[in-house]
Amino acid sequence: MDETFQPRIVGFLCNWCSYAGADLAGANRLNVPASITPIKVMCSSRLDPALVLAALLRGADGVLVAGCHPGDCHYGEGNFYARRRLYLLKEVLATLGLEEDRLRLEWVSASEGKRFAEVTADFDRRIRELGPNPIRSRGLT
Amino acid sequence: MARSGDILVIGAGIGGIKASQLLSKAGHQVHMVERTAHIGGTSIKFEDVFPNLECATCMLSPLEQELLQDPRIHLLTLTELEGLEGSPGDLTARLRQKARFVNLDNCIGCGACYDACPASAINEFEEGLSQRKAIYVPCAGALPNVPHIDPEVCIRFKGEECVACQEACVFEAIEYAQEDKALELKAGAVLVAVGSAVMDAKQLKRFSYGTHPGVFTALELERLNASNGPTEGHIRLRDGREPKRIALVHCVGRRERTLCSAVCCRYLLKFRHYLRHKLPCAEVCEYHTDLCLPNKGDQHFLGEMAPGGEGLMRAEVVRVEGEGDSLKVVLSRDGQEFSETFDMVVLSPALIPSDGVAELAQKLGVELADDGFLAVKGVASSRPGVFILGGASGPKDIRETVIEAMAAAGEARRTIMAKEDGE
Amino acid sequence: MKARVGIYVCECGNNISDQVDIAALIPILEDAPGVVKVMPFRLLCSKEGQDFLEAEIRQEGLTHLVVAACSPRQHLTTFMEVSKRGGLNPYLLQMANIREQCAWVTLDRKEATEKAARMIRAATARVVRQAPLPEREVAANPDLLIIGVGISGAAMVRTLAGPERRLYVVDRDVAVTEGPLSGMEGVELYGGWQLEAVRGFFGNFEVTLSSGDSKKEIKVGAVAICSGSRTMTLQEMDYPGWEDPGVVLLPPDLEALMPHLEGLPERPKVLFVHCAGREKVGYCSGTCCLRSFRAMRWLAEKVPAAQLACLYQDICVPGRKGEKEYQGILGAGVRMTWGRLTGLSSQGRRTAVSFLREDGSSGQETADLVVMVPATVPDPGAKVLMDIIGADAGSTGFVEEGHPMLEPMATSVRGIYVAGSASGPRNAEASMLSASAAAAQIDAELRPGETLRLEAQTSQVCEALCTGCRNCLNVCTYGAIVYDPVAQTCQVNEAICRGCGNCVAACPSGAISVKGATYQQILQEIREAVR
């Protein structure tokens, strides 16, 4: 693993559950990797695959989308749509020369500060294993 | 300064919160009085709620934040009612607010003070499963996110020269000199939303709660399962072992208290979901006499939690006896007795009137029912202008509590408008 | 106009400044496009902090504001109010959460500072793409349509009738027009009428009522469904042998049982069969056990020599009153047998009741009179009603509540409420209480003389790009999108839209966008986040 590699991971967090869970991780002073920059959306269903792609094409080494657990979505079923879209997108990533694992979808509830810390730590570890986004290293961004 | 169009709500659990928010939406100034230092009542102890197993924090936390930011809702924590005089539309409430010893405006909830505090005690919110400091919030996520000092535990209040919390605080939020305050409020109507309490299972000796460590109450299991709880969500026996065989016991105290606590069948089924998730290898046996599933979706919920009735048995638990580390649960069915062995037994103790409700009734000038709950006709108490909602008048689930909260809010408004029309 | 962004970094006492080197941040932030001022402050949420920010907005002529501090979940509202006071549209504000999601979770100080820089620059890049949003209001009609005048409907009428709002009351029973509610101020009764169509949205519904060939259009702000419920008939339950003369349905009025008690032997055995129809409906009707126990008590007084027995599957008596009755029944010696009814048949002058025990074995009891305690089902008109309104009825046919616990009087459509047993079996007392709750909620949410505040961050469709594929409409949980068949494009009803953005992600043409979370705004935030 390249020790100088400083991953840039974008974390899309939904306002009602996962963003609150991330805040709770903070309130509990848990460790969250510095590689992750959170971006708040109202619902994980806002995540247009085009936005996720845009993040990857602009050099994000990883994209994490965290929404409410199935059944808990503040807007009803938004997280189901998110799941469908992002799983489809994963299939497409290979055609762009990107590893499927660079995109991760997780469910984190407002009370799961610890889970948020665990999920982000695990994703950071995986991205370090994968190395820098090949698009970035080819100097395309 | 309160005016007579204002409304006093006693209790900041889900019932008090919903009633206050409805009243605020309707334009009233609401004064909320809460005995503890935090809001949310009993519901914030749960990880998930039945019947849709929704995350309780995700459901309640936005409501709580909204309440705290509502300019028309004036919240007084650590406050209790001392007396209520006057007539509907023109009531005067005397209140006593205990000192928090922390300035609510300065404190930002960073928690530096709890780390510094040298004194600890049992954490009642966590059902005694963990400790907390003399200066504390009951659990992570409790709101308002501002601690208070328990003078019974704090060594400074016992005469020692300790300023650890004050030194740790960079916001100058610790104020040892704060004193209890007597307050007076004028209101047009009063809503009582103090909830129910849970019976002390030690009183039912045949279940060995308190004598054998393997016996737990429902709230203890809720806190064990909670991600913000004392074990971060790991369900364990008191010595740290993972239980392998778990018994869930319905109707504990039902006959003694002559009431059906309305929520236990459903929460015990909910526990099946917790246990399936956290201890997938554990065997769970649930013993019930009837299944109280009053809402239209509850039977479906039963089917999801116990498909084909697996793990459910109609049998009465006669007694629970310790046998070394294990527990022998003696059951009776069709007149026959038999027993099974478990390492964990979870009891569903009856819901009883809230602590201190008899004194509160006196101060409010309302009657108690013969079993100690506040007497009601619908949501009306025996005193005009005072309304009772939720667990205070009998065991209820969140849904029934919210319905009563809104109905009581409506009645309170009508009381005030009648007075205004009369003037 | 050129952007003038002010970035204010809160030290939060020492909570942020201990982990984030704010001094080092400042030059990095000053460098960002559009930034005219960067300043730290000890505690921005304090009174001093808020006054300081308000003054800064005015003095620096700021066009956009970035507050790098704690979580927006804590103080976004606070700083939006500050913006308003400073004369800045509150939607030209962005917060960077450098406390909960940076200082408090990053061990290494250098990393924390770099992350803070990224987060604040991302917030800055986003904020300059944000547009001012008006806080809109819409006029709301305070009038109410009440469908069904049973216990809950009548209670709602009595509670809400008054000079400030008109109540339109519809019931299929013609007698309602001249019934006890006639003559009430502001109440128009339509007995013998039904609902034909509902258009519009909360505060502004247009309703068509019909009766035979006659139609009437009314405008209301909200609708309350009080269509009630009924009990299953013996025929519907369809247990084999149900026609046996010894079998009777527990009537609402117990006096109606008297004729069935005549001609019975000296010490008649009366068997109450609970949970009748439960297998067919798939739920426990919750109210019947108590009703049955009260009937048993009544019967024991009327016919002291009667032997009472009960066949049941579960006894459901939540609360205090029910259990008292149940223990009273047990104390009075009523024989309780667990069993699932399988059939009925004549045995001489008696009726035989066959049932299955829990262990699967068959059992039989005979009785002189069998009283079936039936399941409760929705009113037969409920399905059609729900289709017209477009609100959800669950698999049971009862109206689904907006939220099973927190919004029991609302439905899936904003402005359509439900009270009484239309949303589930409920006894008279509970129906009255729920009517009181629904009335209180309507009265608070739809106040005569007031306008309704709309969500500012709603979606909107760019008609030029819209191809009319209706993907957006199909994903919207709230039915906030309508299709115009003439223009062949979709439109968002901003009064209903909740701003989740699902439609935006669903649109293949990029024709729909949500204010406050546009593609460009998020994209710019992403660009800074990955730098």
Instruction: Answer for the pair C33, C64: CB distance below 8 angstroms, yes or no.
Output: no
- What are C455-506's pLDDT values in tens digits? 899 999 999 999 999 999 999 988 899 999 999 999 999 888 999 999 999 9
- Provide ipTM, 2 decimals: 0.96
A30: contact with B, CB 8 A cutoff? no
Of B350, B365, B397, which residue is a domain's last?
B350
Q: Which positions in chain B touch C293 (Cβ < 8 Å)?
A: none
Interface test with A, best of B227, B231, B270, B278 (most A CBs within 10 A): B227
Report which DSSP code applies to C16. Answer: T
- Cβ separation B410–C159 shorter than 8 A: yes
Instruction: Answer for the pair B227, B219: CB distance below 8 angstroms, yes or no.
Output: no
* Positions of E strands within C302-399: 307-312, 335-338, 340-347, 350-356, 362-367, 369-374, 376-378
Structural domain contains residue C357: yes
pLDDT, tens digit only, all 423 positions of chain B: 456 689 999 999 999 999 999 999 999 999 999 999 999 999 999 999 999 898 898 889 989 999 999 999 999 999 999 999 999 999 999 999 999 999 998 999 999 999 999 999 999 999 999 999 999 999 988 999 999 999 999 999 999 999 999 999 999 999 999 999 999 999 999 999 999 999 999 999 999 999 999 999 999 999 999 999 999 999 999 999 999 999 999 999 999 999 999 999 999 999 999 999 999 999 999 999 999 999 999 999 999 999 999 999 999 999 999 999 999 999 999 899 999 999 999 999 999 999 999 999 999 999 999 999 999 999 999 999 999 999 999 999 999 999 999 999 999 999 998 888 775
- Cβ separation C440–B296 shorter than 8 A: no
Beta-bridge partner residues of B248: B286, B346
| B204 lies in the same domain as B228 | yes
Of C353, C377, C401, which residue is a domain's last?
C377
What is the rounded distance in angstroms from the CA atom of residue C121 to the CA atom of residue C105? 19
Report how many Cβ contacts below 8 Å link chain A to chain C. Answer: 119
Structural domain contains residue B174: no
**Does the pLDDT of residue A139 top 90, yes or no?**
no
| B219 lies in the same domain as B270 | yes
| B39 lies in the same domain as B59 | yes
- Cβ separation B296–C394 shorter than 8 A: yes
| C312 lies in the same domain as C182 | no
Confidence at residue B299, expressed as pLDDT on a 0 to 100 scale: 94
What is the rounded distance in angstroms from the CA atom of residue B123 to the CA atom of residue B112? 19
Phi, psi of C443 (to 5 degrees): -60, -35
| B89 lies in the same domain as B209 | no
**Does the pLDDT of residue A141 top 70, yes or no?**
no
Asked whether the CA dihedral B364, B367, B373, B375 is positive or negative, the reply is negative
| C236 lies in the same domain as C367 | yes
- Cβ separation C526–A51 shorter than 8 A: yes
What is the rounded distance in angstroms from the CA atom of residue C289 to the CA atom of residue C285? 9
Going by pLDDT thresholds of 50, 70 and 90, the confidence category of residue A132 is: very high
Q: What CATH number does the domain containing C358 carry?
A: 3.50.50.60
CA A102 to chain centre: 9
Question: Which pair of structure tokens corresponds to residue B391?
Answer: 């667990």
Nearest to B363 by CA among B194, B179, B151: B194
Report which DSSP code applies to C86. Answer: T
Of C329, C344, C377, which residue is a domain's last?
C377
Structural domain contains residue C220: yes
Report the number of distinct structural domains present in chain B.
3
Rounded average pLDDT over A59-66: 96
Which distant-in-sequence residues (6+ apart) come within 8 Å of C192 by Cβ? C171, C172, C173, C174, C176, C177, C211
Instruction: Answer for the pair C191, C177: CB distance below 8 angstroms, yes or no.
Output: yes
Structural domain contains residue C520: no
Q: Nearest CB to C505: which of A20, A47, A76?
A: A47
Q: Nearest CB to C529: which of A8, A31, A42?
A: A8
Confidence at residue A2, expressed as pLDDT on a 0 to 100 scale: 64
Report which DSSP code applies to C142. Answer: -
Q: What CATH number does the domain containing B267 carry?
A: 3.50.50.60
A109: contact with B, CB 8 A cutoff? yes
How far off is chain A from C103, nearest CA to CA, in Å? 8
| C508 lies in the same domain as C482 | yes
B409: contact with C, CB 8 A cutoff? yes
% of residues, chain C, pLDDT over 90? 89
Structural domain contains residue C127: yes
Interface test with B, best of A28, A108, A111 (most B CBs within 10 A): A111
Q: Nearest CB to B290: which of C315, C395, C423?
A: C315
| B48 lies in the same domain as B189 | yes
B43: contact with A, CB 8 A cutoff? no
Q: Which positions in chain C touch A26 (Cβ < 8 Å)?
A: 71, 99-101, 104-105
Question: Which pair of structure tokens corresponds to residue C222?
Answer: 């909200």
CA B392 to chain centre: 11
What is the rounded distance in angstroms from the CA atom of residue A98 to the CA atom of residue C376? 58
Interface test with A, best of C455, C458, C473, C502 (most A CBs within 10 A): C502
- What are C193-212's pLDDT values in tens digits? 999 999 989 999 999 999 99
| B278 lies in the same domain as B305 | yes
Q: Nearest CB to B399: which of C287, C395, C408?
A: C408
Transcribe A53-89 into DSSP letters. HHHHHTT-SEEEEEEPPTT--TTSSHHHHHHHHHHHH
What is the rounded distance in angstroms from the CA atom of residue C247 to the CA atom of residue B293? 27
| C386 lies in the same domain as C341 | no
What is the rounded distance in angstroms from the CA atom of residue C177 to the CA atom of residue B33? 46
| B220 lies in the same domain as B163 | no
Of B301, B329, B350, which residue is a domain's last?
B350
CA B290 to chain centre: 25
Could you list the residue range(s) of the whole structural domain that residue C71 is in?
5-133
Going by pLDDT thresholds of 50, 70 and 90, the confidence category of residue C247 is: very high
Structural domain contains residue C527: no
What is the rounded distance in angstroms from the CA atom of residue A43 to the CA atom of residue A12? 9
| B264 lies in the same domain as B304 | yes
What is the rounded distance in angstroms from the CA atom of residue A65 to the CA atom of residue A83? 9
Going by pLDDT thresholds of 50, 70 and 90, the confidence category of residue C179 is: confident
| C161 lies in the same domain as C266 | no
Transcribe C36-81 into DSSP letters. EEEEEES-TTSHHHHHHHHHHHHHHT-SEEEEEES-HHHHHHHHHH
What is the rounded distance in angstroms from the CA atom of residue B142 to the CA atom of residue B272? 26
**Does the pLDDT of residue C125 top 50, yes or no?**
yes
Structural domain contains residue B371: yes
State whether residue C335 is helix, strand or coil. strand
Could you list the residue range(s) of the whole structural domain that residue B140 is in?
112-168
How far off is chain C from B241, nearest CA to CA, in Å? 31
Q: Which positions in chain A touch C104 (Cβ < 8 Å)?
A: 26-27, 29
What is the rounded distance in angstroms from the CA atom of residue B324 to the CA atom of residue B330? 16
Q: Nearest CB to B22: which of C315, C318, C441?
A: C441
How far off is chain B from C519, nearest CA to CA, in Å? 26
For B114-123, the CB contacts below 8 A with 24+ separation are: B114/B147, B114/B165, B115/B168, B116/B164, B116/B165, B116/B167, B116/B168, B117/B154, B117/B164, B117/B165, B118/B155, B118/B162, B118/B164, B119/B153, B119/B154, B119/B155, B119/B162, B120/B153, B121/B150, B121/B152, B121/B153, B123/B230
| C200 lies in the same domain as C97 | no
| C43 lies in the same domain as C11 | yes
| Residue in this structure with the two tokens 């709309």, named with its chain if needed | C454
Report which DSSP code applies to A96. Answer: G
**Does the pLDDT of residue C284 top 90, yes or no?**
yes
| C436 lies in the same domain as C469 | no
- Other CB atoms closer than 10 Å to residue A97's CB: what's the count? 10
Q: Counting beta carbons within 10 angstroms of the beta carbon of residue B308, is it exposed (0 to 12), middle (13 to 18) or buried (19 or more)?
A: exposed
- What are C12-62's pLDDT values in tens digits? 988 999 999 999 999 999 999 999 999 999 999 999 999 999 999 999 999
Single-letter residue type at C477: T
Structural domain contains residue C408: yes
Q: Nearest CB to C525: which of A22, A39, A85?
A: A39
Question: Which pair of structure tokens corresponds to residue C337?
Answer: 């047998």
What is the rounded distance in angstroms from the CA atom of residue B57 to the CA atom of residue B233? 14
Confidence at residue B52, expressed as pLDDT on a 0 to 100 scale: 87
Instruction: Answer for the pair C295, C272: CB distance below 8 angstroms, yes or no.
Output: yes
Single-letter residue type at B159: G
Q: Which positions in chain C touch B16 (Cβ < 8 Å)?
A: none
State whether residue C396 is helix, strand or coil. coil
Structural domain contains residue B104: no
Structural domain contains residue C531: no
SS3 for chain B, per residue? CCCCCCEEEECCEHHHHHHHHHHHHCCCCEEEECCCCCCECCHHHCCEECCCCEEHHHHHHHHHHHHHHCCCEEEECCEEEEEEEEECCEEEEEEEECCCCECCCCCCCCCHHHHHCCCEEECCCCCCCCEEECEECCCCCCCCCCCEECCCCCCHHHCCCCCHHHHHCCCCCECCCCCCEEEEEEECEEEECCCEEECCHHHCHHHCECCECCEEEHHHHHHHHCCCCCCCCCCCCCCCCCCCEEEEEEEECHHHHCCECCCHHHHHHHHHHHHHHHCCCCEEEEEECCCCCCCCCHHHHHHHHCHHHCCEEECEEEEEEEECCEEEEEEEECCEEEEEEECEEEEEECEEECCCHHHHHHHHCCCECCCCCECCECCECCCCCEEECHHHHCCCCHHHHHHHHHHHHHHHHHHHHHHHHHC
- Cβ separation B57–A16 shorter than 8 A: no
Instruction: Answer for the pair B9, B81: CB distance below 8 angstroms, yes or no.
Output: no
| B273 lies in the same domain as B240 | yes
Which distant-in-sequence residues (6+ apart) come within 8 Å of B153 by Cβ? B119, B120, B121, B133, B134
Quote the mean pLDDT of chain B: 95
Q: Which positions in chain C touch A76 (Cβ < 8 Å)?
A: 477
Report which DSSP code applies to C100. Answer: I
| C129 lies in the same domain as C183 | no
> What domains appear along chain A, each with residue ranges and CATH number?
9-137 (3.40.50)
Asked whether the CA dihedral B286, B289, B295, B298 is positive or negative, the reply is positive
| B313 lies in the same domain as B243 | yes
State the pTM of this model: 0.93
B47: contact with A, CB 8 A cutoff? yes
Structural domain contains residue C80: yes
Of B350, B371, B394, which residue is a domain's last?
B350
Of C85, C101, C133, which residue is a domain's last?
C133
State whether residue C271 is helix, strand or coil. strand
C113: contact with A, CB 8 A cutoff? no
Instruction: Answer for the pair C363, C378: CB distance below 8 angstroms, yes or no.
Output: no
Report the number of distinct structural domains present in chain C.
4
| B187 lies in the same domain as B123 | no
Q: Which positions in chain B touch A72 (Cβ < 8 Å)?
A: 54-55, 58
What is the rounded distance in angstroms from the CA atom of residue C51 to the CA atom of residue A38? 29
Rounded average pLDDT over C116-129: 97
| B271 lies in the same domain as B332 | yes
A74: contact with B, CB 8 A cutoff? yes
Going by pLDDT thresholds of 50, 70 and 90, the confidence category of residue C395 is: confident
Report the chain B residue with the minimal C-alpha distance to residue A16.
B58
Which residues on chain A place their C-beta less than 8 Å from a C-beta of chain C? 8, 10, 15, 19-20, 22-23, 25-27, 29-32, 34, 37-43, 45-51, 54-55, 58-60, 74-78, 81-82, 85, 117
More reliable by pLDDT, A70 or B347: B347
**N-terminal to C-terminal alpha carbon distance within chain C:** 27
Report which DSSP code applies to C313. Answer: S
List strands edge to edge, sheet with B344-349. Answer: B215-217, B344-349, B245-252, B283-288, B312-314
- Other CB atoms closer than 10 Å to residue C245's CB: what's the count? 10
| C181 lies in the same domain as C254 | no
